[in-house]
Amino acid sequence: MLDVILIFIHLCKSFCVTFIPKTFWAHLHIDLTTVTSVEQIWTANLFLESNQRIRTTILTCVLWNVWKCRNAKVFRSVDETNLHIATRCHDDLLLWSNRCSTDADKAKLVEWSNYFFVG
Q: Which stretches of 1-119 are DSSP H helices?
A: 2-18, 21-27, 38-43, 52-76, 82-97, 103-116
DSSP-based three-state secondary structure for 24: helix
* CA–centroid distance for 106 within its chain: 18
Q: Is the pLDDT of residue 8 over 70?
A: no
pLDDT (tens digit, 9 = 90+) per residue, 33-78? Answer: 777 777 788 888 888 899 999 999 999 999 899 889 889 988 999 9
Phi and psi, residue 5, nearest 5° = -65, -45
Mean per-residue pLDDT of the chain: 83
pTM of the predicted protein model: 0.79
Instruction: With beta carbons less than 8 A apart as the criterion, state whether 63 and 19 touch.
Output: no
Write phi, then psi, for 12 (nearest 5 degrees).
Answer: -85, -15
